[in-house]
Structure 1
Amino acid sequence: MTDAHTHTDRAGPRATRPGAALAALAAAQFTVMLATSIVNVALPQIRTGVGLSEGGTTWVVNAYGLAFGALLLAGGRAGDLLGRRRVLMSGLGLFVAASLAAGLATTPGVLIAARAAQGLAAAAIAPAALALVMGQFPSGPGRGRALGVWGAVSGAGGAGGVLLGGVLTQAWGWPWIFHSVALGTALVLAAVAVLVPPETGTRSGRFDLLGTATVTLSLTCLVWGLTTARGTGWTDTRVLGALGAAAALFAAFVVIERGRPDALVPRRLLTTGRVAAGNLLMALLGSVWIALFFFLPLYQQQVLGSGPLATGAGQLPLAAANMIGASLAPRIARRLGATATVTAALLTEAAGLLWLSRISADGSYLADILGPSVLVGLGLSVAFVQLTALAVDGVPPQDAGLAGGLVNTTRQVGGAIGLAALATLAGSVTAGAAGHASHAAALTSGYRAAFLVSALVLVVSAALAGYLARRPVRAPAATAVPFPLTGR
């Protein structure tokens, strides 16, 4: 374990309005979410452009998600110890370089390595930016409005990535997907440098290198095993070995953290406020969120026959509903209460997914996608805003970056688990229907099954939210002595 040096960030002479800083930080989050989905509609063109195999094509998506999900806790803790603004700007700089490398790639290895580097950079950006937002806006109505903006750009980034990917691929070719991200991120980096003030105060502590390495390897094995299972099946020896290694490494992480004064995930974090409840519910929401943006474009392209541009444009109503819902979420929560808002939002999204489970092979965008997309967008955005607020509820300032990393980790890992399970389910249903139905009808049967199970997951999540979100909130102890993750 190594020492993180003690330092003091001193504010400069300029004064920055919180609204301007929020805009720059939200743009950083938008960049991370955009890179998650922007490649989805361009995968066929990318495969041809760099000579990827069928299995290699999936790693254009998986390499980013794997590095992002596995390193978020480390990124969040690094921000707490080294300074969030410093870590955020370093992550944005790496994101620019990795995006340029991806756009210039001519071989599969370079492209996949560049996507992994993007994921590494995103793991530094996301928790640092969220922690800075929390620092700019103390608990209260102002933070609620800020998280509403955060939720709007997060959802818009996911849906907007599909649209922008379709436009750029059709107009200029797939490399411009990455070139545009590099240019946009460079502008965000400049905005953060100008608009986000340096942090004040002194930080000291030790970076839990052993615990970080153990949990990062555990998450890497877990996400790799789950994403590989989508193509090889759950009984593949590599998948079983990876999942077994993930369990063993996580058990070792728990043992390592016991009694450690500077634990990576201190016990105080999970016993403060409703952090644990928020993260559990966020994992369940993530399990259907990422799958939605995977299956919906596939249905549009493989069954309805839409091109990349039309598929991307079809995401606009969902993105608009997402932005509206996120902006209204704080107001709804003040009127209905946090628990009722979370429950209603999850049930609204479940209703949209249940509607999507009725899609047909000879359907159309207007009849099968438009209406449910609006419901899903509204429910998803409100739920995301409220669950993010729950997951950072009562967190002491010194753990803000770690709390941001944890909630992003649970969403990513939940998404990896959900996508692997739902993709396996959809593939099994499609294979079973292939013998007595057309190819389009068989695919549709698989997608319908995935949407139906997603709706059921959200109904269960809504029931859990009604219980978990009502649990009494413990007062945060900003100066409390760190406790280990587990122990006496």
Structure 2
Amino acid sequence: MKTATTRGPGAALAALAGAQFTVMLATSIVNVALPQIRAGVGLSDNGTTWVVNAYGLAFGALLLAGGRAADLIGRRRMLLAGIAVFGAASLAAGAATSSPALIVARAVQGVGAAAIAPAALALVMELYPPGPGRGRALGVWGAVSGAGGAAGVLLGGVLTQAWGWQWIFYAVAVGALLILVGVAVSVPRTPITGGGGFDLPGGVAITLALTALVWGLTTARRSGWTDASVLGAFAVTAVLTAVFVLVERRHPNPLLPPRLFRAGRVTAGNLLMALLGSVWIALFFFLPLYQQQVLGAGPLAAGLGQLPLALTNMLGSTLAPRIARRIGATATVTTALLVEAAGLLWLSRISADGSYLTDVLGPSTLIGLGLSIAFVQLTALSVEGVTGRDAGLAGGLVNTTRQVGGAIGLAVLATLAGTTTAGAAGHLPHLEALTAGYRMAFGISSAVLAAAAGLALLLVRTRAARTEPVPAHP
């Protein structure tokens, strides 16, 4: 079999980027089809929420374990297994005729995605050592990651309107099959570099802690922050996190070794990625809702409305490495976050009697540029200085911070938007009350990114000044 070495790393990068694109696509592709899915399998309000949450819960909770497992058993092997599971679950979701079957299939999709994302990023790092080549590769990675979220809304609208909601899952299954073949043909087998055994107690503790956290956050959107089950989930999260910390201190091969956080600017990159994720996932939740519920767009029109954002996202991802080389990491991250914040601030001025051209198009272009450049640069910072044996773990960590940040952000913003809408419903027409809630969500998102830009000035610059060579052993 020919390897990526004989074919050139470009073919392997295309296959790996395709895997990441599919993972991001599955995050948002169901959003515009939820009303049709609800009618198709008889979902309740709670069940409709879990069509989205089941995927995010399994994905976010298992990323760290998936990343470490990829380091230990082989990244290519882990990636192929993850794609196979992901594709089979997608096929099962499309064929589901009951709500439990659909929700279980979405959860298994998330399990496959948790194996794919860190392994694919680690393989990109192996193919492209530090330097301009890695910068360009991460630009491609950022383009497909951001475009995947926007394309999910677009493709979901097109497929749902043309052939029915089942095809949003069948299309993902076909894509997974093609990517499976591409990875098998173009990505080389690489030596296993992760040393030591798998930290099973730590892996179980952090997976259950993340599960409880994400479950509590998603439940809080429906039941309120003071609900007993929500408070119980947060208490379980706190206890399991404490257990995880104790296990990590004593285990000879901890899941999150201290050396990982001494490398480059891993800590700063992950903290800022969590803040970016808190806004990112919420954006693709609220924007299609505004287009459909207030502006009256159908699934197809709402999906097509994401094209400008997707295009500027790809443009920004292409430009990000060049900008970083010219003005430096700190200025790049700060400027990108401020550009996205400006777009969200503009979006917070939407009106109930507005239109796509006057209320959505302009802000979307700014958001796409800022989001893509920030994502590419923060991904680079989050794997900076990481040795080969920890590449999968670093990929799992940066994906975890983005996913968990997104779950927290969406839960908080959905609560604030719902509270604002409920408060306005007494004295405003229904559409104006809905719009007031969306304006609140976009305005708070803008403030979060503005604060993140200020934090980036401190964290990225300070950590760069203090970075020292990482020792070969912990």
Residue 417 of structure 1 is matched in structure 2 by 408
Does residue 29 in structure 1 map to residue 20 in structure 2?
yes
**How far 1:272 moved relative to its partner?**
1.3
Mapped to 1, the partners of 2:59 and 2:469 lie a distance apart of 29
Residue 454 of structure 2 is matched in structure 1 by 463
**How far 1:15 moved relative to its partner?**
2.0
Identity among equivalent pairs (%) = 72
Give the aligned residue type for 1:118: Q
**How far 1:205 moved relative to its partner?**
1.7
Does structure 2 conserve the Cα–Cα contact (< 8 Å) formed by 1:396 and 1:478?
no
Q: Aligned in 2, Cα 1:51/1:332: closer, same or farther, shift over 3 Å?
A: same
Does structure 2 conserve the Cα–Cα contact (< 8 Å) formed by 1:274 and 1:473?
no
Residue 77 of structure 1 is matched in structure 2 by 68
Mapped to 1, the partners of 2:375 and 2:32 lie a distance apart of 24
Deviates more, 1:29-38 or 1:254-263: 254-263
**How far 1:323 moved relative to its partner?**
0.3
Q: Aligned in 2, Cα 1:406/1:99: closer, same or farther, shift over 3 Å?
A: same
The answer for unaligned runs of 5 or more in structure 2 is none
Q: Which residue of 105, 115, 129 corresponds with 1:124?
A: 115
Residue 473 of structure 2 is matched in structure 1 by 480
Q: Which residue of 240, 249, 253 corresponds with 2:244?
A: 253
Residue 59 of structure 2 is matched in structure 1 by 68
Does structure 2 conserve the Cα–Cα contact (< 8 Å) formed by 1:278 and 1:391?
yes
The answer for unaligned runs of 5 or more in structure 1 is 1-9, 482-488
Mapped to 2, the partners of 1:201 and 1:404 lie a distance apart of 16
- TM-score normalised by structure 2 residue count: 0.98
Does residue 299 in structure 1 map to residue 290 in structure 2?
yes
Q: Which residue of 365, 378, 399 corresponds with 1:408?
A: 399
**How far 1:480 moved relative to its partner?**
1.1
Give the aligned residue type for 1:241: G
Does residue 231 in structure 1 map to residue 222 in structure 2?
yes
Deviates more, 1:125-134 or 1:465-474: 465-474
Residue 211 of structure 1 is matched in structure 2 by 202
Mapped to 2, the partners of 1:372 and 1:84 lie a distance apart of 39
State the Cα RMSD in Å: 1.3
Q: Aligned in 2, Cα 1:167/1:12: closer, same or farther, shift over 3 Å?
A: closer
Mapped to 1, the partners of 2:306 and 2:351 lie a distance apart of 19
Q: Aligned in 2, Cα 1:201/1:210: closer, same or farther, shift over 3 Å?
A: closer
Does structure 2 conserve the Cα–Cα contact (< 8 Å) formed by 1:357 and 1:448?
yes
Does structure 1 conserve the Cα–Cα contact (< 8 Å) formed by 2:193 and 2:388?
no
3-state SS, counterpart of residue 19 of structure 2: helix
Mapped to 2, the partners of 1:213 and 1:183 lie a distance apart of 32
Does residue 274 in structure 1 map to residue 290 in structure 2?
no
**How far 1:270 moved relative to its partner?**
1.0
Does residue 189 in structure 1 map to residue 189 in structure 2?
no
Q: Aligned in 2, Cα 1:198/1:301: closer, same or farther, shift over 3 Å?
A: same
**How far 1:200 moved relative to its partner?**
2.9
**How far 1:203 moved relative to its partner?**
4.9
Residue 97 of structure 2 is matched in structure 1 by 106
**How far 1:479 moved relative to its partner?**
2.6
Residue 231 of structure 2 is matched in structure 1 by 240
Residue 387 of structure 1 is matched in structure 2 by 378
- TM-score normalised by structure 1 residue count: 0.95
Does structure 1 conserve the Cα–Cα contact (< 8 Å) formed by 2:74 and 2:191?
no
Give the aligned residue type for 1:342: V
**How far 1:394 moved relative to its partner?**
0.3
Give the aligned residue type for 1:127: P
Mapped to 2, the partners of 1:379 and 1:173 lie a distance apart of 34
Please identify which structure carries the higher helix content. 2
Does residue 162 in structure 1 map to residue 128 in structure 2?
no
